[in-house]
Structure 1
Amino acid sequence: MSVTELSQDQAPKHVRLGPIGWLRWAWRTLTSMKTALILLFLLALGSVPGSLVPQRGVDPDKVARIYEQNPVLAEWYDRFQLFEVFTSSWFAAVYLLLFASLIGCLIPRTATYVRELRRKPPAAPKNLSRLPHSATLEGGLSVDEAARRLRKLRFRVVTGDGWVSAEKGYLRETGNLFFHIALLGILLAIGGGSLFGYRGNVLVVEGDGFANTVAAYDRFIPGGQVSAESLEPFSFQLDDFKVAYQVTGDKKGQALDYTARLKVTDSPGAPVRDYDLKVNEPLEIDGTQTYLIGNGYAPVFKVTDGKGQVAFEGPVPCLIEQKATMTSGCVVKVPDAQPVQLGFLLQFLPTSVPLTDGSYASAFPGELNPEVQILGAFSGDLGVRSGKPQSVYVLAEDEALKKLDRLFMGSNTPKPLAVGQSVDLPDGKGKIEFTAVKQWITLQTAYDPGRMPALVAGATAVVAIALSLMIRRRRIFVRIKEGETVVGGLTRTEGSAAGFTEEFADIVKVLSAGAKDVR
């Protein structure tokens, strides 16, 4: 009968899964080992942009520089949350799926592991010579003696009528199970740290202080369960910051050491103590760690307005433009100047040297000959009172900048100012004076309660995977019949037969000694 002649009842029918069936299929797919490996790969792949693209929580200065140099690229980075990879929604989705996958793998694996622990070794086969490893002993050997000697070798032993069965290597499954539990522990520690921890960045100039409050941070990223009262009430003052540079050789100008000298108060009313903050040597107070992550120069300016009053005086943090020489760009806004607001675009040169074309550049990152080049001076409405937020590193918005009067610009800019020098502005609009040089540092304060649990879980994972890879399951069987003792062995781990050969020979020697004792 042809296929076309099949009755309607005999024709194959398509089985529809339905909602429950699709849920079961999705759960089995999610909890499969293949899916877990893919998610682990995606987690590692997703971490790559976090190490290549500057992160707001670690280096906000570099993020601001990208916005200045390539705003279109910065917008796309921000759109895909590449400036905040490890707190992004897509990264969270990957590790939450991995979290669910690991739980789905652990539950049946744990049940299987418990059954394996309770299961006794199987009875010895009748023909041990067919096993991958076998040997016949000279002399008789009792069942009790064989069992006793195998127990001394830490085998799990079962005896029967004329036979002994022993098994060893259960720690392999233990290591495998604990490895997956450790991975789950790492994810839990990361999640707990994100929920109950916080990170904050702040820029501090020499001579200024910092108190660990939300308002004091330039950028603060709290966990979901963090409140203002959760922060440790410590404070410190930056007394001095020193950088040691290589002064000779091919690596001239390379930074050798950074030291920030702090006066720390651990809590209100506590005695002040000195602390030298260095790279990778954070200040730690009750689990809250403060790291040194960046530094730069903050030249001090005094601006006198057209009425002879000091309208601005203080240090101005500059953004680093050339890391090798620490050439930095500064913006000074003077909204209180009278009769008109003033603004300056400046360039700080730590070791200023003249070039052949008449311009100036920095030849060394240390402040051997600090000078300030005035790139532009402006007067007019800077837009600071418009209500729109402005960056302290940008003089004015594009539209407002076009309306400003240019006092100094291009070829009519004065020579660089050394410390103590000043320059008068045209039309009696005031004066700017370069009075001193200070340095600034950027700090990251972080509280992560999941840090130590993650470390313990990571160490457990390393030990567990070592157990899983180094230990092999193996079985030894002994049959005693009519004065003949036959020993057989096999390994239950693929690829470990060669290593088991020597162990089997040693076991045979131990049993042979028992046979001689009995004889």
Structure 2
Amino acid sequence: MTATLAPPPRSKPKPAKRLRAFGRRWWHQLTAMRTALLLLLALALAAIPGSTFPQRSISAPDVAAYYDQHPDLAPWLDRVWAFDVYTSPWFSAIYLLLMVSLVGCILPRLGLHWKALRAKVPDAPRRMSILPYHRTLAVEANQSLARAVLKQRRWRTTVREAEDGTVTISAEKGQLRETGNLLFHSSVIFMLVGVALGSLMSWYGNRILSEDKSYCNNLQQYDEYGLGAWVDETGLPQFCVTLDDFDAEFTNGGPTAYDAAISYEAAGEEGEYALEVNHPLNIDGTNVFLIGHGYTPVVTYTDRYGQTQTLHQEFLAMDAAMNSEGAFKFPDANVDPATGTVDENAEVGFDAVFVPTFDDSTAMLLGTNPELENPVLALTAYTGDLGLADGRPESVYAINEAQIASGNLEQVNDEVEVIGVGDSMTLPDGSSLTFDGVEQYAVLQVRHDPGGPVVLAGAILLLGGLLPALAVRRRRFWIRWNPDGTVETAGLNRNDYDGLDEECDELTAAIAPGHEPPQASSSDESIGSQQ
């Protein structure tokens, strides 16, 4: 009886080796192009809540309004960062994974492409007749002429001589296609990095600035602003800007030019600048843009005690003709000068529409000309409590509708009253509002975006890589001088390329002048069609 020896038990791999194998396997999965495409799709889906729900970084008041409208749902959404999507952990995780996947996918391809550019062109197969293009020359071809022709047409060549006397010239063209592919994919990384820098380190502020008015660069003086997650408001550059003069030109009812003469002070430096659209002023790495224009009606209110208040109030344009809407609010009106008593129910407000060019020959209030040819104000007066004392933020461009609906504000005039420059509107209590004139204002945007140049570089790489990736075709061409005196040429396309035969025929005719290559045999065509 023969004893059967059991095989020795296999030793389990060491934990370190198993961990390395596990990490290598998942690294290959993460850096696969398929994974990068899935992560790109996931990033697009993850950005949907950012455009669906208001974002704190863009407009905190909109988030507060959403809380008021949905008091039960909003806290739950806030727990999953629905109001801070682009700085949320889950969005950042997808973003980082996508960047790692793209870098891990592109870097190995860059190494392989660099080696391919420096390597010799592969030799032709022993049987050149199996290639899609194959010709046997009827006359002798000159080797020096062949090299000169290929070099002149920018083919990368390698010459080989065998021991039996066979000489082969291998030529290749179209490596720029892979270069374009790598540039295109690298541009995505640049754009992702640029967008991330812009989201984390950029900031902006919008300011409506009337003529002869100034403001300094701090958040309290901006009408609207946004800060990146890594921006500290105390670190903003210190400068002040004054709008000295503004001029707007119109043609056929549309603006053709905005010119703002401004002066500025920054870090002990003073200067003047002619600010125009798309020609920003750069101060300490921060750009000041001119992005809009509007009108500032100037009015004087005289209350029942004869006390006057002059107000310069910017109005917001409603259409291309610069018909604008706004409001005049006088919370300190009708204070008894003898006692100093403030009557909260004697506050005055005016809801107004400003028309730059009013045509009194028609029944229409709104004009069609944005230039100041016949400016008027259409006024609706209210008295009572404006609601400014409760501390809640409200628009400076409209009367509080909640106060009107609650009865705290009452409309004084039954019909809208239209007044021109120099005219006055008199209220039943004897107070009046006088339309003194119109000023112009410029809408300025101050922006610092360190990610902008990186995104621009990515866009340039994208365009620079897309053209060769789509237009260039990789192909190879061989010429072989056999010991028996025959000369063969062959070609191979590495991509779909319908003009391979024509190009190879042209090369063959150039290296063997006076020779007309015969058409490929049926056997050659059938073999070549299978490659």
Q: What TM-score do you get using the length of structure 2 for normalisation? A: 0.74
Q: How many equivalent residue pairs?
A: 472
Match of 1:318, as an amino acid?
F
SS of structure 2 residue aligned to 1:477 = strand
- Contact 1:211–1:234 (8 Å) recurs in 2: yes
Q: Is the 8 A contact 1:150 1:166 kept in 2?
A: no
Q: Quote the Cα distance in structure 1 between the aligned partners of 2:325 and 2:88.
A: 31
Contact 1:331 1:394 in 2 (8 A): yes
1:181 and 2:178 equivalent? Answer: no
2:417/2:425 contact within 8 Å kept: no
1:307 to 305, 308, 312: 305
The 2-side partners of 1:218 and 1:119 are apart by: 61
Query: How many angstroms apart in 1 are the aligned matches of 2:307 and 2:19?
Result: 78
Q: Give the corresponding residue for 2:7.
A: none
Deviates further, 180-189 or 148-157: 148-157
- The 1:117–1:129 alpha-carbon spacing in structure 2 relative to 1, beyond 3 Å, is same
Instruction: Give the corresponding residue for 1:317.
Output: 314
Cα distance in 1 between the residues matched to 2:25 and 2:408: 66
Counterpart contact for 1:327–1:347, Cα < 8 Å: no
Displacement of 1:51 in angstroms is 11
The gaps in structure 1 that reach 5 residues or longer are 1-17, 248-252
Aligned to 2:395: 391
Identify the residue that residue 212 of structure 1 maps to in structure 2: 217
User: Given that residues 387 and 403 in structure 2 are in contact (C-alpha distance below 8 angstroms), is that contact kept between their aligned partners in structure 1?
Assistant: no
**CA offset at residue 136 of structure 1?**
2.1
Measured at CA, do residues 87 and 237 of structure 1 come closer, stay the same or move farther in structure 2, by a change above 3 Å?
Answer: farther
How far apart in 2 are the matches of 1:354 and 1:93? 62
Q: Which residue of 2 is the match for residue 285 of structure 1? A: 283
| Structure 2 residue ranges without an equivalent (≥5) | 1-17, 336-341, 516-531
Q: Contact (CA 8 Å) 2:243, 2:263: kept in 1 or not?
A: no
> Does structure 1 retain, via aligned residues, the 8 Å contact 2:57–2:227?
no
Q: Which residue identity does 1:242 align to in structure 2? A: D
CA contact (8 A) 1:146 1:514 kept: no
Matches for 1:151-300 after TM superposition, within 5 Å: 153-161=154-162, 162-164=166-168, 166-168=170-172, 169-228=174-233, 230-247=235-252, 253=253, 255-265=254-264, 267-278=266-277, 280-300=278-298
- What is the CA deviation profile of residues 166-202 of structure 1, one whole-angstrom value per residue up to 9, with x for unaligned ones? 2423222222112211221122222223333221111
Percent identical: 32
Aligned equivalents of 2:90, 2:211: Cα separation in 1: 40
CA-based RMSD of the aligned residues comes to: 4.4
Kept in 1: contact 2:326–2:396 (CA 8 A) = no
The 5 A counterparts of 1:73-92 are none
Aligned amino acid, residue 203 of structure 1:
I
Cα distance between partner residues in 1 of 2:158 and 2:85: 54
CA displacement, residues 332-372 of structure 1 (integer Å, 9 cap, x when unaligned): 22222224342323323322334777x74434332222121
**2:453 is aligned with what amino acid?**
M
1:471 corresponding residue in structure 2: 472
Match of 1:126 in 2: 126
Letter in 2 for 1:447: H
Secondary structure at the residue paired with 1:352? coil
Structure 1 residue 448 displacement after superposition: 1.8
In 2, Cα distance between equivalents of 1:84 and 1:443: 27
2:326 paired residue among 302, 319, 330: 330
1:460–1:485 Cα change, 3 Å: same
SS in 2 for 1:176: helix
Per the alignment, in what secondary structure is the counterpart of residue 177 of structure 2? helix
Question: In the alignment, is the contact (CA less than 8 A) between 2:273 and 2:281 conserved in 1?
Answer: no
1: CA distance, partners of 2:297 / 2:191: 45
Q: Secondary structure at the match of 2:185?
A: helix
- With over 3 angstroms needed to count, the CA separation of the structure-2 counterparts of 1:504 and 1:131, relative to structure 1, is same
TM-score scaled to structure 1, two decimals? 0.75
